[in-house]
Amino acid sequence: MTDTEELDGATILANALKQQGIEYVFGIVGVPVIEVAMAMQTAGIKFVAMRNEQAASYAASVIGYLTRRPAACLVVSGPGLVHALAGASNAMENCWPMLLIGGSCERQQEGMGAFQEYPQVEYARNFCKYSARPSCLQRIPVFVEAAVRISLYGRPGVSYLDLPADMITAAVDSSSVVWCQKCPDSPRAHAPLEDIRKALQVLSAAHKPLVIIGKGAAYSQAEKELQHFLSATGLPFLPTPMGKGVVPDNHKQCVSAARSKALREADVILLLGARLNWILHFGLPPRFQPNVKVIQVDIHQEELGNNVRPVVALAADVKAALSQMSMELANSSNSYPFHHTELWWQDLNKAIDKNKKAINALSADETVPLNYYCAFSKITEILGENDVVIVSEGANTMDIGRSMIQNLLPRQRLDAGSFGTMGVGLGFAIAAALWCKETGGKKRVICVEGDSAIGFSAMELETVCRYKLPVIFLVFNNNGIYSGLDNDSWNYLQEDDMTLVAPPTALTPETRYDMVMEAFGGKGRLVRTPEELCKGFKDAMEDEDGAYLFNILIDPVATRKTQEFSWLTSSKL
């Protein structure tokens, strides 16, 4: 690059993104961002062309979770940006770093009713931590650096950058461009030592302690520190859905199978990067003890004390706080006697054994059409301890899958998350498959979908096949949302006005999602029996390069086993 070379806005943007370590951009091109996508590829950034901006934004967000550095989503102006705000809001609620980049109309046409004109910077501000338009071409890299840094620092989230069409195509002398160094990773905040000591004192004096592992612990990459801490203390732990795998689900101290009892009876809870929101029943009775003592660890100070006032608040990175705790234990082990939990463990183990027997009974029922537990048990047996990323979304499918499919490694469980978003599955799966390929391992991505959930982004199956991504899709097809109708009931309704008599939850019975996969060049399989599922899934797992979709027909009235507490606090299901 010579001093006299001219650079257009698209090239400056692409090079600035590359300087900041952006490796992936997901999006859909059109006027005015086609040149931007091409410039990104020229700069060595991988551009993944998607079929819907929502799925593209979901894909970009999950890269931030997996790597602690943001990916970008590139969209056209107006409706393109509006569609992508679904992924932006999902990333904000999940606290994942992400960049959203939108084209916009030429500046001289603003206020004239230009094509897809929209107040994008102002509108995006409601969904992001940072929303801006570069002041000039020369300072595009300054705005890119700020967008990346703000997405990473503090509570991670989304940054939006707006690029008008005339700024994309205009050019300036390269010597006038203000380039920026790559912003460092987010600094890890540590807690005051006196607070660490107080937390250990409260925790070691507990008779029924519990450690809750949130996805903040997974994002922090705190697995080594957490496993060391649990080994030193012998405390029982419960992972939230995306906290699964930070410590393996098959670890002897995991009490997921006694979740309700553990939450209801714990007298002290160490909350690691998890929020007391709907997923944890807000930390309130009757799901929790009225006088439960909470030790809260969170990087976001404003989160400390939401719904339940902690007895100790550690405004710190989870990885850093756990390291501090372990160091204090090693230096002063006699000051923190963890000797009060024997009876607690006896009670927990009784509940674990009881719940496992109930699950085993449901799993042993091989009646056709299949129930969820039987199908999941076959899948779990075949997965064994294979290195897989589990993507899951749906209603019954996701809820039951949370307890049936184990995660043994961190950040390899991706589901609807804090926002409860349906439609994330295929975008997540595409991003995870690209990440797996980048890491050089032989991880498989297993995307478990309800038949309603896959309908949100089913055209992304073409994206999977186009990029030859070895994703295995498992569609649990019960003909509806929560529940559906069998063929006879459905055909009976055909005689009336379906808009008046068809249940709002019902979908067409036995829809052939497997044939949709085949239409795009993948391998589709219709599954009715346990034998068909076992044989087909084994073959798919052995085919390291193939993309598969298994359309697993589930009894339309099959549902969750009776649970004392469901994930959705007010659910009647």
Q: Tens digit of pLDDT for each residue in 97-118?
A: 999 999 999 999 989 999 999 9
Task: From 345, 378, 402, give the residue that closes a domain.
Answer: 345
> φ and ψ at 356, to 5 degrees?
-65, -40
Give the pLDDT score at 559.
Answer: 73
357 in any annotated domain: no
Give the pLDDT score at 438.
Answer: 86
Q: Which amino acid is at 21?
A: G
Q: Which amino acid is at 126?
A: N
Residue bearing the bigger pLDDT, 441 or 298: 298
Q: At 25, which CATH number?
A: 3.40.50.970
Give the pLDDT score at 3.
Answer: 55
Task: From 121, 146, 176, give the residue that closes a domain.
Answer: 176
Q: Which amino acid is at 478?
A: N
Question: Confidence class of residue 22 from pLDDT cuts 50, 70 and 90?
Answer: very high
Give the pLDDT score at 490.
Answer: 94
If asked whether residues 325 and 369 sit together in one domain, one would say: no
Residue bearing the bigger pLDDT, 256 or 440: 256
- Surface-to-core class of residue 531, CB atoms within 10 Å of its CB (0-12 exposed, 13-18 middle, 19+ buried): exposed
If asked whether residues 53 and 158 sit together in one domain, one would say: yes
Q: How far is CA 534 from the centre of its chain?
A: 28
If asked whether residues 521 and 408 sit together in one domain, one would say: yes
Give the pLDDT score at 443.
Answer: 87
353 in any annotated domain: no
187 in any annotated domain: no
284 in any annotated domain: yes
Residue 567 has pLDDT above 70, yes or no: no
Question: How many domains would you assign to the chain?
Answer: 3
Token pair recorded at residue 316: 């710190």
Residues 462-490 have pLDDT tens digits of 999 999 999 999 999 999 999 999 999 99
* Strand-by-strand arrangement of the 293-298 sheet: 237-239, 209-213, 268-272, 293-298, 312-315
Give the pLDDT score at 440.
Answer: 74
Beta strands in 157-250 (DSSP E): 158-164, 171-173, 209-213, 237-239
Burial 413-452 (b: 16+ CB within 10 A, else e): bbbbbbebbbbbbbbbbbbbbbbbeeeeeebbbbbbbbbb
* Of 457, 456, 437, 453, residue with least CA distance to 445: 437
Stretch 372-394: mean pLDDT? 96
Q: What is the dihedral of CA 258, 260, 266, 268, to 10 degrees?
A: 100
120 in any annotated domain: yes
How open is the CA angle 11-16-19, to the nearest 5 degrees? Answer: 130
If asked whether residues 376 and 297 sit together in one domain, one would say: no
Distance CA(541)–CA(444), nearest Å, equals 8
Give the pLDDT score at 239.
Answer: 98
Distance CA(309)–CA(304), nearest Å, equals 8
- Surface-to-core class of residue 195, CB atoms within 10 Å of its CB (0-12 exposed, 13-18 middle, 19+ buried): middle
Contact at 8 Å (CB) between 243 and 214? yes
Burial 215-251 (b: 16+ CB within 10 A, else e): bbbbbbbbbebbbbbbeebebbbbbbbbbbbbbbbee
Q: CB 341: neighbour CB atoms within 10 A?
A: 18
Give the pLDDT score at 439.
Answer: 84
Give the pLDDT score at 560.
Answer: 64
Residue 548 has pLDDT above 60, yes or no: yes
Percent of the chain at pLDDT exceeding 70: 97
Residue 571 has pLDDT above 80, yes or no: no
Contact at 8 Å (CB) between 400 and 371? no
359 in any annotated domain: no
Residues 169-185 have pLDDT tens digits of 999 999 999 999 999 99
Task: From 110, 141, 176, give the residue that closes a domain.
Answer: 176
Give the pLDDT score at 343.
Answer: 94
Burial 473-492 (b: 16+ CB within 10 A, else e): bbbbbbbbbbbbbeeeebee
Give the pLDDT score at 561.
Answer: 59
SS percent in the chain: helix, strand, coil, step 5: 45, 15, 40
Give the pLDDT score at 39.
Answer: 98
356 in any annotated domain: no
Residue 573 has pLDDT above 70, yes or no: no
Domain with 225, as residue range(s), is: 193-345
350 in any annotated domain: no
Q: At 328, which CATH number?
A: 3.40.50.1220
Residue 333 has pLDDT above 90, yes or no: no
If asked whether residues 28 and 104 sit together in one domain, one would say: yes
If asked whether residues 382 and 443 sit together in one domain, one would say: yes
If asked whether residues 315 and 370 sit together in one domain, one would say: no
Give the pLDDT score at 494.
Answer: 87
Question: Confidence class of residue 434 from pLDDT cuts 50, 70 and 90?
Answer: very high
Give the pLDDT score at 338.
Answer: 86
If asked whether residues 162 and 198 sit together in one domain, one would say: no
Give the pLDDT score at 495.
Answer: 83
Distance CA(239)–CA(479), nearest Å, equals 31
Residues 220-273 have pLDDT tens digits of 999 999 999 999 999 999 999 999 999 999 999 999 999 999 999 999 999 999
User: Which range (41-50, 436-445, 537-546) has the least confidence?
Assistant: 436-445
If asked whether residues 29 and 134 sit together in one domain, one would say: yes
Stretch 300-313: mean pLDDT? 97
Stretch 133-158: mean pLDDT? 98
3-state secondary structure of 249: coil
If asked whether residues 372 and 324 sit together in one domain, one would say: no
Tell whether the torsion through CA atoms of 257, 260, 261 and 262 is positive or negative. Answer: positive
Which phi-psi region, left, alpha or beta, contains residue 189 (left: φ > 0; alpha: ψ -120 to 50)? Answer: beta
If asked whether residues 420 and 542 sit together in one domain, one would say: yes
Contact at 8 Å (CB) between 86 and 57? yes
User: Which range (129-133, 199-203, 320-324, 562-566) has the least confidence?
Assistant: 562-566
If asked whether residues 389 and 427 sit together in one domain, one would say: yes
Indicate the DSSP class of residue 296.
E
Contact at 8 Å (CB) between 436 and 445? yes
Distance CA(232)–CA(234), nearest Å, equals 6
